[in-house]
Chain A
Amino acid sequence: MRARTAGIAAALLVLAAVPLAGGPFAVDFVTKTMLYAILALSLELLVGQVGLVCFGQAAFFGVAAYAAVLLTPASGPAPLWWLLPACLAATGLFAAVVGALSIRTRGVYFIMVTLAFSQMAYYVAHDTPLGGGTDGIYLPAVPSVAIAGFRLVDLGRAVPFYYVTLAFLGAAFAFLGVLLRSRFGRALAGIRVNEQRMRAAGFSTYPYKLAAFVLSALVAGLAGFLFAVKDGVVNPELLGWHVSGTVLMMVILGGIGHLHGAVVGAFAFALLQEFFMSEAIFGSFAKHWHLGVGLSIILCVALMPRGLVGGLRRSAADEQG
């Protein structure tokens, strides 16, 4: 427990120091990776804690990102205080509908149904006037963060945005950590291990799973919202199954069943991708980076079936899974 706290504190310190030590490229890279880490945390809640393998997490990420763009008036910036809650509300509503229908299915059917819903969202963004087509749409103005006219932070600048993202990553991690210790969190764990027994004990498991599904979507929506603010543009690819698959790989790579596994997985994946995309190292082969990343992930999963954080621990507690 103490080692875990020390690990989290060290990670926060290192992340906080990045803008001081690194240049604009490092800041941009780590910001993006932290956004993916938030998204991976959201999926870990479903996959690792409830045992629901969702293959449509990109939909919630993308819906929140599109909401941020569509809800910002063309005339100027919207205050963060209402724009973020509004985007999360839209994402939560969407997730409630998708969840209410998909949670009735199990196993591979759940995977397919969530994939189907996210592809539907993808085509709505891609093929309707609402979504602006393949090119996407631009965010008219970066949301303002001000109290009584006094501007607290400029989200349009890279370094302040970096720290805001770091704060949200820390908040999401802490929120999920507290949630999983609670009775709600323990009930989710019970459902993952043995849903039949939970029902026999008197838990109506469906509302629990639906609540977890919506909470997960809200955390994914937070990541999507920040993504839209960071890039200032959204496109249909944000909702595509590539993103859902990438996040799932991050969670698996890091180690299913641990919150910090999702964060470690997001960073490991981003670093692998950066490494194999480097033309300085691989020359013209760098454009085939998917191959390198894919092979390394296969290797990692074969050697460390319980992920990067699972592989580093002693096996005693992990054997039974």
Chain B
Amino acid sequence: MNKDRAVLRGRNLTRRWGGVVAIDDVSIDLVQGEIHALIGTNGAGKSTLVNVLSGEVPASSGTVELEGQDVTRWPQPRRARAGLGRSYQRTTIFAPFSVLENCRLAAQARFQHPWRWMSPASACGESGDAARSAASRAGLGHVLDREAGRLSHGEKRQLEIAMCLATDPGVLLLDEPLAGMGAEETARMLELLASLAEGHAILLVEHDMDAVFRIAGRITVLADGVAIASGAPADVRDNPAVQTAYLGGAR
């Protein structure tokens, strides 16, 4: 695949909530093999952009293209089956189920076969294998049988990623995977994200500036729903508009 071809492409995306414009004419490209970080203050529209890209919230205007295909009108589950995975800012796991079952259920989305009602889900080899490999990739191979609700906070965040991976996506939209993590957990997660960049196009929404500048290949800055800068980390850091709007004030 051409390394520069965008796997996911948002074009002129706008989302209005009544009179409030959450994101305004934002365009963003995600490229295979690169972590594209999305930063901005609270309420800048980062989560809205993720929701619009993943199909959870329809765009008021603009288009979303996945692998060159216009998916703007596709509902979220269809986009997900086409390879668009996402994680949530607030941990969104199946707390009463085991770690393995969390991943297996996510993987099952690719092998749904609901009409095979006689055969137990646990006998579905494809989803079981995908679940095990996703869990161990995310560093949860040793707690497969633990109830997800009893994991530590950091492990729950890892499980979020594992469930994403279990669906075998080409694109990962990760909404603040480092939120609330300790230093050691953060380091482990960054290592995981860096290793995932190879096979995926990743959008990383993050508050932790150190982490972002260390890991991202490209950064887009949102302020009040508008993309005020986009480019290589060094360029973004030196951009005067960014410094006034965000970096200078906050840091």
Chain B residues, CB < 8 A from A183 = 108, 111-114, 116, 119, 121, 124, 127
Tell me whether B97 and A193 are in contact (CB under 8 A).
Answer: yes
Tell me whether B105 and A320 are in contact (CB under 8 A).
Answer: no
Closest to A321 in B: B96
Interface residues on B, range: 35 or more
Tell me whether A199 and B76 are in contact (CB under 8 A).
Answer: yes
Q: Which of A193, A194, A197, A203 contacts B112 (CB 8 A)?
A: A203
Tell me whether A320 and B80 are in contact (CB under 8 A).
Answer: no
Tell me whether B78 and A204 are in contact (CB under 8 A).
Answer: yes
Q: Does B68 contact A (CB under 8 A)?
A: no
Could you count the A-B residue pairs with CB atoms below 8 Å apart for me: how many are there?
Answer: 101
The smallest beta-carbon distance between B163 and chain A, in angstroms, is 7
Tell me whether B108 and A187 are in contact (CB under 8 A).
Answer: yes
Closest to A193 in B: B94
- Which of B80, B127, B149 has the largest count of A CB atoms less than 10 A from its CB? B80
Q: Which of B95, B117, B124 contacts A178 (CB 8 A)?
A: B117
- Which of B78, B81, B120 has the largest count of A CB atoms less than 10 A from its CB? B120
Chain A residues, CB < 8 A from B129 = none
Q: How many angstroms from the CA of A321 to the CA of B104 in the assembled complex?
A: 20
Chain A residues, CB < 8 A from B106 = 197, 201
Chain B residues, CB < 8 A from A187 = 105, 108, 112, 114
Chain B residues, CB < 8 A from A205 = 77
Chain A residues, CB < 8 A from B120 = 181-182
Chain B residues, CB < 8 A from A211 = 114
Tell me whether A197 and B92 are in contact (CB under 8 A).
Answer: yes
Interface residues on A, range: 20 to 34
Q: Which of A185, A194, A200 contacts B94 (CB 8 A)?
A: A194
Tell me whether A178 and B118 are in contact (CB under 8 A).
Answer: yes
Q: Which of B78, B80, B105, B149 contacts A190 (CB 8 A)?
A: B105
Chain B residues, CB < 8 A from A320 = 95-96, 147, 149
Within 8 A of B (CB), among A56-85: none
Tell me whether B77 and A204 are in contact (CB under 8 A).
Answer: yes
- Could you give, for residues 131-161 of chain B, a 1 whenever the CB lies within 8 Å of some chain A CB and a 0 otherwise? 0000000000000000101000000000000
Within 8 A of B (CB), among A186-209: 186-187, 189-190, 193-194, 196-205, 208
Within 8 A of A (CB), among B175-232: none
* Majority secondary structure of chain A interface residues (helix, strand, loop or mixed): helix
Q: Does A282 contact B (CB under 8 A)?
A: no
Within 8 A of B (CB), among A161-197: 178-179, 181-187, 189-190, 193-194, 196-197
Tell me whether A197 and B108 are in contact (CB under 8 A).
Answer: no
Q: How many angstroms from the CA of A197 to the CA of B76 in the assembled complex?
A: 11
The smallest beta-carbon distance between B208 and chain A, in angstroms, is 23
- Which of B112, B119, B124 has the largest count of A CB atoms less than 10 A from its CB? B112
Chain A residues, CB < 8 A from B166 = 201
Q: How many angstroms from the CA of A298 to the CA of B211 in the assembled complex?
A: 54
Tell me whether B163 and A202 are in contact (CB under 8 A).
Answer: no
- Could you give, for residues 80-109 of chain B, a 1 whenever the CB lies within 8 Å of some chain A CB and a 0 otherwise? 110001101000111111000100111011
Q: Do A201 and B94 contact each other (CB < 8 Å), given the known contacts A182-B117, A183-B116, A186-B121?
A: no
Q: How many angstroms from the CA of A186 to the CA of B128 in the assembled complex?
A: 13
Q: Does B240 contact A (CB under 8 A)?
A: no
Chain B residues, CB < 8 A from A193 = 94-97
Tell me whether B81 and A182 are in contact (CB under 8 A).
Answer: no
Closest to A186 in B: B121
Q: How many angstroms from the CA of A187 to the CA of B93 in the assembled complex?
A: 14
Tell me whether A182 and B118 are in contact (CB under 8 A).
Answer: yes
Chain A residues, CB < 8 A from B117 = 178-179, 182, 184-185
Q: How many angstroms from the CA of A12 to the CA of B104 in the assembled complex?
A: 34
Q: How many angstroms from the CA of A178 to the CA of B118 in the assembled complex?
A: 6
Chain A residues, CB < 8 A from B76 = 199-200
- Nearest 10 interchain pairs by C-beta: A202-B109, A202-B80, A184-B114, A202-B81, A186-B121, A181-B120, A201-B109, A201-B106, A204-B77, A183-B121
Sample (18) of A-B pairs whose CB atoms are under 8 Å apart: A182-B119, A182-B121, A183-B124, A184-B115, A184-B117, A186-B101, A186-B104, A186-B121, A187-B112, A194-B93, A199-B76, A199-B77, A200-B54, A200-B88, A204-B75, A204-B77, A204-B78, A211-B114
Q: Which of B's residues lie within 8 Å of A, judged by CB?
A: 54, 56, 75-78, 80-81, 85-86, 88, 92-97, 101, 104-106, 108-122, 124, 127, 147, 149, 163, 166-167
Q: Which of A's residues lie within 8 Å of B, judged by CB?
A: 178-179, 181-187, 189-190, 193-194, 196-205, 208, 211, 320-321
Other 6 A-B pairs with CB < 8 A, given A182-B114, A183-B113? A187-B114, A198-B109, A201-B77, A201-B163, A202-B78, A203-B112
